Amino acid sequence: MIRCPKCAHINHQDECARCGILISKYRQRPFERRRDPSQDAGIDLRDDSQLPAIEKLKRFWIQLDSRTVIGSLAIIAVLYGSIDAWRERAIPQPPGILISDEPSQTLLPAEARAMIHKKEVLQPLADYVIRARVLHKQRYRLDAVADLSPLDLCVSWGQLSDSSLLDQIEISQSGRFCWYRWSGNEPVEKSVIESSIANIHTIPATDAVFADLKRLRPGDVVTLRGQLVRVDKRDGSEWKSSLTRTDTGAGACEIMYVRSVVRESVPLKALQ
């Protein structure tokens, strides 16, 4: 049996019963080289100016070596980091206490109506209004509650809103905690710091509120309104807000369902 090289029909003789060719002669034909379509179009492949845009792009990427690509990506990363740092730069404030009042908290009855937010049950514990100075802001994207609470704010009031004192203290955030430290002598009693600072796990009520939170910068004076809540998670565990401003350590942070963000006017020179 012989397979026809043209139509693949199985034959018992040299002549194909389907397409009629002589198989032995067909196999003896010289190989016909496929023409490049660019030749039919009259394009000189040696001249980049005649190539279509997509072909120019392909040729450009082929000519790049891995070191060039890595170098370009590194430059882009540095530029992005520089732009991000510029956007997050601190707003200078004059010496003196900016916020003298403590946060306002009104406890709610145990039967206060629960809310469903991001598929989690939020049980309001207290109405909460806080006017404070922003010390640091931290985004979270990967931990277990990042979808519900994507941003933490470390804020202060009272003596800790005074720039002359804050200039001696270094503030940072990580792992859902707010950290502070200083060099040399203690700038103020530790109890003053602990009672004038808060790390707020924010739960934005809307996308607009989240956008307002993301725009905040260190040095901003902001008023947040909403509720301190307990999160009854789907796995049966709970995540509960602190209801006092003097506790420390794990469980001492406020978990706040933020309904509104009011950022006070920023001096023009601070935006330059």
Same domain, 129 and 192: yes
Longest dimension (CA), the chain: 105
* CATH code (residue 206): 2.40.50.140
Q: Which amino acid is at 47?
A: D
Of 220, 242, 216, give the one whose Cα is nearest residue 229. Answer: 242
Same domain, 124 and 167: yes
Which one is predicted more confidently, 15 or 255? 255
Number of domains in the chain: 3
Token pair in block for residue 222: 């902001």
Geometric angle at alpha carbon 204, from 199 and 206, rounded to 5°: 165
Q: What is the structure's pLDDT at 81?
A: 58
Q: What is the structure's pLDDT at 211?
A: 96
Same domain, 229 and 140: yes
Token pair in block for residue 253: 């942070």
For the chain, give the mean pLDDT. Answer: 83
Same domain, 9 and 134: no
Geometric angle at alpha carbon 209, from 217 and 226, rounded to 5°: 100
Domain boundary among 87, 118, 134: 87
> What is the arithmetic mean of pLDDT over 132-156?
96
The string of DSSP codes covering 96-159 is S-S--SPPEEEE--TTPPPEEETTEEEEEEEEEEEEEEEEEEEE--SSTTTTT--EEEEEE-GG
pTM value is 0.69
Torsion angle of the four alpha carbons 74, 76, 82, 88, in this order, in degrees rounded to the nearest 10: -120
Same domain, 190 and 75: no
Spatial separation of the C-alpha atoms in residues 269 and 272, rounded to whole Å: 5
Same domain, 129 and 7: no
Tell me if 36 is assigned to some domain: no
| Distance set, CA 72 to CA 53, 78, 81, 83, 122 (Å) | 22, 10, 14, 17, 46
Q: What is the structure's pLDDT at 161?
A: 94
Same domain, 123 and 207: yes
pLDDT above 80 (res 82): no
Tell me if 210 is assigned to some domain: yes
Q: Which amino acid is at 34?
A: R
Same domain, 79 and 191: no
pLDDT above 80 (res 39): no
- Quick: pLDDT tens for 194-234: 999 999 999 999 999 999 999 999 999 999 999 999 999 98
Same domain, 62 and 20: no
- Residue 10 pLDDT class (50, 70, 90 cuts): confident
| Distance set, CA 63 to CA 44, 49, 55, 69, 112 (Å) | 19, 16, 12, 11, 66
Q: What is the structure's pLDDT at 183?
A: 86
Tell me if 38 is assigned to some domain: no
Same domain, 12 and 62: no
pLDDT above 50 (res 271): no
* Full residue range of the structural domain in which residue 67 is found: 48-87
Tell me if 42 is assigned to some domain: no
Tell me if 93 is assigned to some domain: no
- Quick: pLDDT tens for 14-34: 888 888 888 787 766 654 444
Same domain, 23 and 108: no
Q: Collapsing DSSP states into helix, strand and coil, what is residue 263?
A: strand
- Residue 265 pLDDT class (50, 70, 90 cuts): low
Same domain, 71 and 9: no
Q: Which residues contact 74 (CB under 8 A, 6 or more apart)?
A: none
- Residue 61 pLDDT class (50, 70, 90 cuts): low
Q: What is the structure's pLDDT at 254?
A: 97
Tell me if 248 is assigned to some domain: yes
Spatial separation of the C-alpha atoms in residues 156 and 119, rounded to whole Å: 31
Spatial separation of the C-alpha atoms in residues 167 and 137, rounded to whole Å: 17
Spatial separation of the C-alpha atoms in residues 146 and 259, rounded to whole Å: 18
Q: Which residue has the tokens 């270094």?
A: 170
